[in-house]
């Protein structure tokens, strides 16, 4: 291991002489931590509605006010007839059409019931479904209010009072931020190593290294360790940003966050180096790494929960290192899970790291 300090000096010098890299190490975490949590939200808000009030009564206008007051809905227009509203929906100006029947108030007084028709634009199924349930909730509340007012003796209806654990405000940010940290890391310390060894192949400098008696382990370690330090810097920096910008801090131990990320960075930089070893040029390496990163991100549970995937896909995600780190990071950040509780994430990640690093060393060929 005598050559390692010399090789490391070389790698660090090269890394910081490339002016772009240190800039990216700073800017990417800022972009990911500052901007993405604000925009990558699955909360459905600002749904637009058109109302056709055929009744024009006190009770119908009170309903419209309720809809307007909701944080989920914006009243876009009140339309004279269905066709006008439907045109608005076709044009994409409104998501919902609420039609109040023309005997709304009289029917309510007479029979205690009246009809409202809701037309939903369900191109985006989730938006349509969620919006519809918000709307139903508002109408139900209104109906209850009316029956109290009319003095009707009602049996106490069954109500569900949820208690939300770990993220009481059901805020999307503390859920996304820990996962986004893992994503930032794979984009930097997964991608850059993939371009590294192959870059030396393209420039021809690898020949001068291969003709020396340097050991493969030393050479690969000298490639890996700089990304390791950069990766841990990015973890710390991202945590600081998440805290300062969004007030999001881990409920669990910060040491545990670092422990997981040490293994994770080790794993993904090994994968990157392995791809680099097998590639003949940077373009090849970039495309292969890009392929893996996209698949890893989509199947990591970052966006869609793993539990709702088909069974075979759930099994396949076991091959995804991102899955373990994202699960662990969320558990540490939101639930404050302990090391012991996270062993089921830690052990597979360690096995993955051991295999990937062995592969990175053995796939580096000094003689072929």
Partner 1 sequence: MTDEIVIKAEGLTKRFGDFTATDHVTFEVRKGEIFGFLGANGAGKTTAMRMLCGLSQPSDGKATVAGYDVATEYEQVKRHIGYMSQKFSLYDDLTVEENLVLFGGIYGMPRKKVQDKITELLQELGFESERKTMVKSLPLGWKQKLAFSLAIFHEPSIVFLDEPTGGVDPVTRRQFWELIYRAADNGITVFVTTHYMDEAEYCDRVSIMVDGRIDALGSPMQLKQQFHGNSMYDVFYALARTAKRGD
User: Quick check: 28 binds partner 1 (CB under 8 A)?
Assistant: no
- Which range of residues in 12-20, 46-54, 98-106, 170-178 is near partner 1 by CB under 8 A? 12-20
- Which range of residues in 14-22, 272-280, 308-316, 330-338 is near partner 1 by CB under 8 A? 14-22
HSE value, Cβ hemisphere, 13 Å, CA-based, for 123: 8
Query: Which residues within the stretch 167-206 sit at the binding site for partner 1 (CB under 8 A)?
Result: 203-206
HSE value, Cβ hemisphere, 13 Å, CA-based, for 226: 26
CB of 303 to partner 1, least distance (A): 39
- Which range of residues in 13-21, 67-75, 158-166, 319-327 is near partner 1 by CB under 8 A? 13-21
Query: 15 vs 120, which CB is nearer to partner 1?
Result: 15
User: Quick check: 1 binds partner 1 (CB under 8 A)?
Assistant: no
Distance separating alpha carbons of residues 54 and 223, to the nearest angstrom: 72
CB of 192 to partner 1, least distance (A): 15
User: Quick check: 362 binds partner 1 (CB under 8 A)?
Assistant: no
Applying CB under 8 A, what is the total number of residues that bind partner 1?
26
User: Quick check: 367 binds partner 1 (CB under 8 A)?
Assistant: yes
Among 14, 61, 78, 121, binds partner 1 (CB under 8 A): 14
Unique residue bearing structure tokens 């890996």: 224
User: Quick check: 368 binds partner 1 (CB under 8 A)?
Assistant: yes
Query: 18 vs 65, which CB is nearer to partner 1?
Result: 18
Using CA of residue 267, residue 286, residue 278, residue 225, what is the dihedral sign?
Answer: negative
CB of 260 to partner 1, least distance (A): 34
Question: For binding to partner 1 (CB under 8 A), which residues are involved?
Answer: 2-3, 5-7, 9-10, 13-14, 17-18, 203-214, 366-368
């Amino acid at each position: 291991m005598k050559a390692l300090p010399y090789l490391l000096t070389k790698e660090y010098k090269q890394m910081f002489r490339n002016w772009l890299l240190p800039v990216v190490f700073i800017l990417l975490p800022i972009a990911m931590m500052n901007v993405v949590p604000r925009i990558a939200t699955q909360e459905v808000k600002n749904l637009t509605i058109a109302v056709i009030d055929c009744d024009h009564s006190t009770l119908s206008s009170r309903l419209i006010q309720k809809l307007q007051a909701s944080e989920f809905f914006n009243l876009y227009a009140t339309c004279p007839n269905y066709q006008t509203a439907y045109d608005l929906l076709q044009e994409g100006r409104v998501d919902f059409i609420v039609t109040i029947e023309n005997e709304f108030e009289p029917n309510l007084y007479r029979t205690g019931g009246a009809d409202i028709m809701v037309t939903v634009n369900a191109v985006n199924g989730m938006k349509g479904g969620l919006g519809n349930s918000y709307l139903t909730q508002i109408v139900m509340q209104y109906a209850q209010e009316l029956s109290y007012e009319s003095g009707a003796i009602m049996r106490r209806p069954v109500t569900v009072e949820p208690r939300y654990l770990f993220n009481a405000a059901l805020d999307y940010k503390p859920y996304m931020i820990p996962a986004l940290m893992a994503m930032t890391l794979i984009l930097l310390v997964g991608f850059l190593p993939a371009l590294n060894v192959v870059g030396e192949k393209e420039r021809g400098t690898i020949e001068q290294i291969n003709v020396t008696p340097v050991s493969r382990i030393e050479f690969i370690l000298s490639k890996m360790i700089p990304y390791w330090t950069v990766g841990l810097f990015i973890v710390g920096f991202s945590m600081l940003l998440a805290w300062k910008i969004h007030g999001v801090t881990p409920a669990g131990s910060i040491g545990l966050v670092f422990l997981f990320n040490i293994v994770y960075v080790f794993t993904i930089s090994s994968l990157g180096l392995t791809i680099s070893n097998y590639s003949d040029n940077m373009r090849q390496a970039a495309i292969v790494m890009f392929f893996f990163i996209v698949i890893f991100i989509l199947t990591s549970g970052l966006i869609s929960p793993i539990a709702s995937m088909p069974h075979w896909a759930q099994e396949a995600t076991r091959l995804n290192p991102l899955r373990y780190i994202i699960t662990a990071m969320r558990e540490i950040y939101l639930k404050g899970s302990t090391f012991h509780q996270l062993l089921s994430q830690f052990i597979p990640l360690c096995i993955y790291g051991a295999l990937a690093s062995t592969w990175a060393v053995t796939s580096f060929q000094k003689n072929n």
